[in-house]
Amino acid sequence: MDDRVVERRKLMSITSVSTILTSPGRNYLLVVVKTDDGLVGYGDATLNGRERAVATVVEDSIRQLLVDEDESRIEYLWRKIYLSAYWRGGPVLMTALAGIDMALWDIKGKRAGLPLYSLLGGKARDRARAYVHVHGQTTSQLVERSRAKVDAGFEALRFSFDSVDPRDPSVTYCQAHQDVAVGRIERTGGAARRDSWDSDTYLTDLPRTAATLRDTLGPNVALIHDVHSRLSPPRAVRAAKELESTGLFFLEDPAEHLDLSTLETIRAQTSVPIAVGELYFHGSDIAELVRRQLVDYVRVDISHFGGITPVVKLAHFAEALGIRTAFHGPSDISPPAHAALAHLAVHLGNFGIQEMVEDQSIWSEVFTTPIQLDRGFITVGNQPGLGVSVDEAAARRHEFVPASLPILHDRMGAIHPW
């Protein structure tokens, strides 16, 4: 190598890897990677309720694997972090790895002066369809709010029940915890207890609520329901069958994500499109679900599946089998993740739909993003890398506050899976 090449390589090394925990409207963990010529990459490493565990892994174990390495070798560095530990993966490590991966792609884009979608091969579409959550404390509130969103231009809506009250069927708490998503974190220091899960009430309520929504909103709104794997196998099959006439865009997590045989039964008995994926961490674990075409939409979480690198590989694998993407995009992951998803949404050939946070004031005091959400469609700007800027001083002012998802109980006081 002549001296110029040596000099150039030296300029491209990683000098620091750190984390920022911030809470502008809810808790987020950012990974910050810096190079010796002053580039800064940001990645999201937020694992809802376990943020500090991820920060510790990044600071104590991963940092030393990266300092002095060539930042351009994402594939090599990803494998170095993943394969160098004998005990691989799991939510904490894969979230940490995702944060690093996103930050490295951010740097790669900034070095090239190109947005992520362009690095990956350019735009397949100008704008990408998004869906947002709608929730209400009663069915009529849910319907009213859905109507308002459709009137505001949204074409795709998702509803979900996080608790039901068997004593009063008119009361259905539809994803009430998502109030957290519009800026009111449950700052209890611990998890709130909910005592009202009842699968039979849910099963009775669900087709009725879905039918009411369909009647009110008309045939052209893409309706999505998230079962959140809260049903036993036979009940999951029954729910899917009863929802068939509603014409859902997709039914999400009707069964446990690892229960491929129930998913197979649902597919054999109904034509409801199925979406699964947010609880997978590894390509090797989700491969069988995709290979057997048990889903129509694959929806891994970019922040828990190891970042952009493995998500792109999974999307290409799914494309070969006629499966589209509907990646997990909840309010509990931060703007670098949402920006990466927006870049993938305009780039991927087999993009299906993208879950999106409607009220972005939840993070706007800290983050500026390249994402525009206009009447249910996402467009993404041409800033280099992920295109997210971070006001680090503001991030530090919004201190982390311990918070968790509610803990769901059934009517006998036993824990029910969230």
Check: CB of residue 157 under 8 Å from CB of residue 223: yes
Could you tell me the smallest distance in angstroms from the CB atom of residue 331 to ligand CS2? Answer: 8
Among the options 131, 173, 202, 297, which is catalytic?
173
Bridge partners for 28 per DSSP: 22
Q: Which of 205, 256, 296, 332: binder of ligand CS2 (CB under 6 A)? A: 332
Q: Is 71 in the site for ligand CS2 (CB under 6 A)?
A: no
DSSP state, residue 405: P
DSSP state, residue 331: T
Interatomic CA distance for residues 74 and 112, integer angstroms: 14
Could you tell me the smallest distance in angstroms from the CB atom of residue 346 to ligand CS2? Answer: 21
173 as an active site residue: the answer is yes
Q: With H, G, I as helix, E, B as strand and everything else as coil, classify residue 353.
A: coil
Choose among Mg ion, ligand CS2, none what residue 332 binds, the Cβ cut-off being 5 to 8 Å by kind. ligand CS2
Q: Cβ closer to ligand CS2: 10 or 184?
A: 184
Bridge partners for 157 per DSSP: 132, 223
Among candidate residues 162, 243, 250, the one with its CA nearest the CA of residue 204: 243
Q: Is 228 in the site for ligand CS2 (CB under 6 A)?
A: yes
Interatomic CA distance for residues 172 and 140, integer angstroms: 10
Q: How many CA atoms lie within 13 A of 330 on its CB side?
A: 24
- Over the window 358 to 387, marking each residue x when it contacts Mg ion by CB under 5 A and - when it does not, the resulting string is ------------------------------
Both tokens of residue 16?
Answer: 């620091």
Q: Is 226 in the site for Mg ion (CB under 5 A)?
A: yes
Q: Is 51 in the site for Mg ion (CB under 5 A)?
A: no
Q: Is 355 in the site for ligand CS2 (CB under 6 A)?
A: yes
Interface stretch with Mg ion, choices 125-133, 210-218, 221-229, 371-379 (CB under 5 A): 221-229
User: DSSP characters for 311-346?
Assistant: HHHHHHHHHHTT-EE-----TTS-HHHHHHHHHHHH
What lies within 8 Å, CB to CB, of 383 at 6+ separation is 115, 370
Could you tell me the smallest distance in angstroms from the CB atom of residue 5 to ligand CS2? Answer: 46
Check: CB of residue 199 under 8 Å from CB of residue 411: no
User: DSSP characters for 194-240?
Assistant: EEEE-HHHHHHHHHHHHHHHHHHH-TTSEEEEE-TT-S-HHHHHHHH
202 as an active site residue: the answer is no
- Over the window 207 to 226, marking each residue x when it contacts ligand CS2 by CB under 6 A and - when it does not, the resulting string is -------------------x
Q: Is 162 in the site for Mg ion (CB under 5 A)?
A: no
Q: Cβ closer to ligand CS2: 207 or 330?
A: 330
- Over the window 179 to 218, marking each residue x when it contacts Mg ion by CB under 5 A and - when it does not, the resulting string is ----------------------------------------
Say how many residues touch ligand CS2, by CB under 6 A: 9
Residues found near ligand CS2 in the complex (CB under 6 A): 48, 226, 228, 278, 328, 330, 332, 355, 405
